[in-house]
Amino acid sequence: MPRAPLTDTAALMARRARADGTAWFLHDAAMDEIEERLADVNRTFTAPAIVTGQPALWSDFRPGARIVPDAEVLDLAPAAHDLVIHAMALHWADDPVGQLIQCRRALRPDGLLMVATLGGDTLHELRAALGEAETRVVGGLSPRVAPMGEVRDMGALLQRAGLALPVADLTTLPVRYRDLPHLARDLRAMGETNALAARHRVPPPRALFSEAARLYREAFPDGDGIRATFQTIFLTGWAPSEDQPKPLRPGSAQARLADALGTTEYRGDDL
């Protein structure tokens, strides 16, 4: 049986088209992090590609980069690139592993994949306030905030996609807003409002959001406003190559760690 889609693609595209560019701070922060990480690699990439839902924003990030929409089937030719950046879009993918596999296939041997995507702690305050308010006002729950992966799970996806030397880490950015409407305004400006396929299509009662705003301020105050958390997960992996370092086989070490540390080694049955 086919799996129900997570994302309403038409709705997501409409929301992105209405994004007005006044709240690109998450993309700006992701660009800064990726730039720093690329500088640490100390390699010149000559054939980059960037997968993104905001092509105008990322078009100048790497000179000569091919800009690719984050469609279900990515417009990437096999072994065509030495660098692929999947930029702030993987959290909307119905098949994130499939996206990573397609990126890996587009890499040349020893090519680099870098991913920036929103992580599971993003907007946890909003999720809690909306859930509690909806339970009180309408007696049930509906999907309003997209589910997002945890860093360990996302790191495991790199291995499933066949990438070598996988690394996953994250950054967390707390932001203070005056109130819930101002947070909602920024989410609209980002193109990141509810585009879940399972969302309710009937407009909710007005009382839902006033109750959510009250609960939000009570549970997550920040000075004279409210706190919103944005978490970005960064994934790095390499296309397999014979030139890459390989882990040693267990038992192949030529020296003991105890000797290097100047300590005494004990066996388990000696303790």
Non-local (6+) Cβ contacts of 242 within 8 A are 109
pLDDT of residue 101: 98
C-alpha 149/C-alpha 43 separation (Å) is 30
Q: What does the pLDDT look like over 54-79, one tens digit per residue? A: 999 999 999 999 999 999 999 999 99
pLDDT over 80 at 256, yes or no: no
User: What share of the chain in percent tops pLDDT 70?
Assistant: 89
C-alpha 8/C-alpha 256 separation (Å) is 56
The answer to whether residue 261 is domain-embedded is no
Tokens of 76: 């990437």
- Which residue segment(s) compose the domain that 234 sits in? 9-240
Non-local (6+) Cβ contacts of 207 within 8 A are 137
Q: Is the CB of residue 188 less than 8 Å from the CB of residue 258?
A: no
pLDDT of residue 271: 47
The answer to whether residue 257 is domain-embedded is no
The answer to whether residue 175 is domain-embedded is yes
Q: Is the CB of residue 228 less than 8 Å from the CB of residue 133?
A: no
pLDDT of residue 149: 87
User: Any idea what the CATH number is for the domain that residue 143 is in?
Assistant: 3.40.50.150
Q: List, in sequence order, every residue forming a beta bridge with 100; answer none if it has no partner.
A: none
User: Model confidence at 261, in pLDDT bands (50, 70, 90)?
Assistant: low
pLDDT over 70 at 23, yes or no: yes
C-alpha 187/C-alpha 183 separation (Å) is 6
- 3-state secondary structure at position 221: strand
pLDDT over 80 at 184, yes or no: yes
C-alpha 171/C-alpha 155 separation (Å) is 14
Q: List, in sequence order, every residue forming a beta bridge with 113; answer none if it has no partner.
A: 84, 237
The answer to whether residue 79 is domain-embedded is yes
Question: What are the CA-CA distances from residue 20 to residues 7, 186, 215, 231 (Å)?
Answer: 21, 10, 29, 22
Lowest average pLDDT, out of 43-47, 102-106, 259-263, goes to 259-263
Q: What is the mean pLDDT of residues 187-196?
A: 94
pLDDT of residue 63: 92
The answer to whether residue 4 is domain-embedded is no
Q: What does the pLDDT look like over 215-238, one tens digit per residue? A: 999 999 999 999 999 999 999 999
pLDDT of residue 197: 87
Q: Is the CB of residue 231 less than 8 Å from the CB of residue 122?
A: yes
pLDDT of residue 147: 79
pLDDT over 50 at 268, yes or no: no
Q: How many residues does the chain have?
A: 271
- 3-state secondary structure at position 72: coil
The answer to whether residue 256 is domain-embedded is no
The answer to whether residue 255 is domain-embedded is no
End-to-end CA distance of the chain: 55
Residue type, 75: D
Number of domains in the chain: 1
Q: What does the pLDDT look like over 80-135, one tens digit per residue? A: 999 999 999 999 999 999 999 999 999 999 999 999 999 999 999 999 999 999 99
pLDDT of residue 45: 96
C-alpha 48/C-alpha 112 separation (Å) is 9
pLDDT of residue 242: 79
- Among residues 235, 26, 245, the alpha carbon closest in space to that of 112 is found at 235
The answer to whether residue 245 is domain-embedded is no
pLDDT over 50 at 29, yes or no: yes
How large is the C-alpha radius of gyration of the chain? 22
